[in-house]
Every structure is written in structure tokens, then in C-alpha cells.
Chain A
Amino acid sequence: MDFFLEIVVAVLLVVGSLMSLIAGIGLITFPDLLSRMHAATKPQVLGFLLLFAGLAIHLRSWILVPVLVLAWGLQLLTAPVSAHMIGRAGYRTKHVAKETLHVDELKKVISKHSEATGNTGAVRKIEGSKADENEKP
């Protein structure tokens, strides 16, 4: 039984590390910033899950499981935020290679908004949110 569990642990750890390797390959091979964000932010989800599962089985202690769940959960909460912030900033500062995009439905919205407000749309939010409405006299 122990031998079998050790094999499971080995497989989980190797596959989990493989996810990180693929992320590294993706960082090099993908053509532009937005595609690279996929490689930079996604391995946490599956790679960490596999690594943590391997760790929990290897250590065979239930009391560690909440810590691992917590670490994974915090990764799930924070990884999308960083992906969003970098992607958004990259798009607004024109670091996106447009030729790799099949369609760009965000461009239409931003240029429409820029015409309406006379703003270049480089930094300003495009949302018609409460905060924006409050700024108007």
C-alpha cells in the first residue's frame, strides 16, 4: 500500500512540475503579451493542485490539508487578478501585438468612448460606473 501511494505521489509531483515546465515553454514561444499571460498565470491552478495533492499524500497528515487548501485557494483568488491587471495595463499602453488577434471587440468600444469624451482612453476607465458619473458636474 505504501509503495503504491509513493508511486501516486511521484506521478502527481512529476505531472505538477511538468505544468510549470510547459508554462515556461509557453512564455518563450507565445508571440505577444496577452498570450504569454496565459502561460504565466495558469500553471498554478492545475500544477499546484497536483503538487499539493502529492504533498498531502506523502506527508500523510490530515492537519496539513487545511493549510494546503488555503494556499491553493489563495492562488485561485489572486492569480486571475494579476492576470487581469497586467493584461489590462498592457492593452491600454498598446503593448498588444494586434496582428496576432483574430478579432478585437474591445478596440471598437474604446475608440467609441474616446470620441465621445475626447479622451485618448489610455488610462481612463471606460466603465460607466458610479465613480465616473460622480466626476461629472
Chain B
Amino acid sequence: MQPKDLTPRDQRIDDALDTAGVRHRATFKQEWPLLLLLIFVWGALWQDFSVGNLLFGAILSIIIVNLFPLPPVVLPGRINLWYCLKLFIWFIGQVFAASVHVAWVAVARGRKARSALIAVPLRTESDLIVMTVGHVLTLIPGSFVVDVDRSSSTLYLHYLDVNSDAEVEKARAGIRDIERRLIMAIGSPDEYEAIKAEEGPDFSARRPAK
């Protein structure tokens, strides 16, 4: 595997402290999804979604994010709700299929179950996409992330029930398919165009090679 060029990119944010030791503060534009989530949590816990309650939740959320600031997340600035919905439905389907598979391996194979630690270099340069790919593949039974190389967007993951090199390649292609779906749903415009160019004109109709 060729190491990628390691220059910082605009989709990567610095860690919580920069070289001068100054902590970056998130702007409102970066923080509004977190605020919405906190307001939703407030409403859900009170089981009351009336305007007054949500407004009070909003005030509390603003106080919380200012008292306990988190490092900002760089949003890709693009979202396609149709692909998000497709991704979610596909995800639930994968979880069902893979749960049955892992259950069968646990019961039938047991001690003889073999697995593999494989490196999957991702095409994306965005922290957010790397993180979501890792989350999605960990939630789908059969694989989870052991290590991450942030500078080259490489995930090192443990894959259950791998017995041959062909299955390693199949697993790698599967992860890159998750990445493709995520970029189509929430990737930045540049990466979306790159994926479109890579997949050809009828990319959305193409079935994953599985």
C-alpha cells in the first residue's frame, strides 16, 4: 500500500489544541446539529415537545455547549436526504443479514472461527466520513475497527469468518462500498464528484460487488 501525501487538508481539523496551545471554538454554523440533538434529548426525556419546553431546552443547550465546549466538527456542507434514507434502509438490511451470519458462526463454527486483521485505505479525506464509515462497519456485525491511521485515512479492522485471500478482498470491497454510500449521502461536493466519476454514469443503480 502506497502511503498517501501527508499534507494537512482543509477537511481535516486540528486537534483540540493547536500549536500555540489555543483551543479552537466551534462557530454556530458548526455547532447547530449538536444543539438540535441536545434539544431533542431534552424534549424526549420530558416527553413533552411543546414550544415552551423546547425553547427552555434550547437555552439549556446553549449554556451546555458553552460551558463544556467540544472540538469543532467540520461539516461537509452537503447532504442528500434520499441517499441518507437509502443508506439507513440498506444499513438495517445489512444488520439483519450479518446478525444471522455471525449467529451461525458463533453456534456452528465456535472455536474454529478464523478471522483477519485487514487494512482498508479509504478514498475520503474527511475526518467525519472516516468516523462514520468506522461506526457503520462496526455496527454491522462481523467487523469492527481496531485501529485508525488518520493521516492516510486507513482503517485497520477485524473481520470475522475470513478463511482465504479472496474473502479478504471481498471484505475490503465491502468497506469501500460503505464509504461510497456515505460519501453519496453526506460527502463533500468534491468527493461526491470523485465518486460519481469513479462509478460511471449509472453509479446509483449499480449493485455492490458482493
Chain A interfacial positions (CB closer than 8 Å to B): 19, 22, 25-26, 29-31, 34-35, 37-39, 41-42, 45-46, 49, 63-64, 66-67, 69-70, 76-77, 79-80, 83-84, 87-88, 91, 100-107, 109, 126-131, 134
- Decide: B117 and A104 in contact? CB cutoff 8 A: yes
**B73: interface (CB < 8 Å):** no
Task: Tell me the residues in window 100-158 of chain B with beta carbons closer than 8 Å to chain A beta carbons.
Answer: 102-103, 106-107, 109-119, 134-135, 138-142, 144-152, 156, 158
A29 / chain B contacts, CB cutoff of 8 Å? 106-107, 109-111, 113
CB distance from B109 to the nearest CB of A (A): 8
Contact A80 to B134, CB < 8 A, known contacts A35-B115, A101-B117, A129-B150:
yes
CA distance A31 to B162 in the complex (A): 14
Q: Which of B6, B43, B113, B139 contacts A31 (CB 8 A)?
A: B113
Least Cβ–Cβ distance between B100 and chain A, in angstroms: 9
CA of A41 to CA of B160 in the docked complex: distance in angstroms?
A: 13
Nearest residue, chain A, Cβ from B19:
A134
List A contacts of B148 (CB < 8 A).
127
17 A-B pairs within 8 Å (CB atoms) are namely A19-B103, A22-B102, A30-B111, A35-B113, A38-B102, A39-B106, A70-B40, A80-B134, A100-B114, A102-B114, A103-B116, A103-B162, A103-B165, A104-B116, A105-B118, A105-B156, A128-B6
Which DSSP category, helix, strand, loop or mixed, fits chain B's interface? mixed
A80 lies within 8 A of B116 (CB): no
- Collect the chain B residues with CB atoms within 8 Å of residue A26's CB: 102-103, 106
Asked whether A106 lies within 8 Å of B113 as measured between CB atoms, the reply is: no
- Docked complex Cα distance between A29 and B161 (Å): 14
Report B-chain residues with C-beta under 8 Å of the C-beta of A25. Answer: 106-107
Most buried by B among A26, A41, A49: A26
Cβ contact within 8 Å between B139 and A79:
yes
Q: Are A102 and B162 in contact (CB under 8 A)?
A: yes
Q: Are B156 and A109 in contact (CB under 8 A)?
A: yes
Chain A residues whose C-beta falls within 8 Å of the C-beta of B15 in the assembled complex: 129-131
15 extra interface residue pairs, beta carbon distance < 8 Å, beyond A26-B106, A134-B19: A34-B115, A34-B117, A35-B113, A35-B115, A38-B102, A45-B99, A63-B47, A80-B138, A83-B145, A87-B145, A100-B115, A102-B116, A105-B118, A106-B147, A129-B151
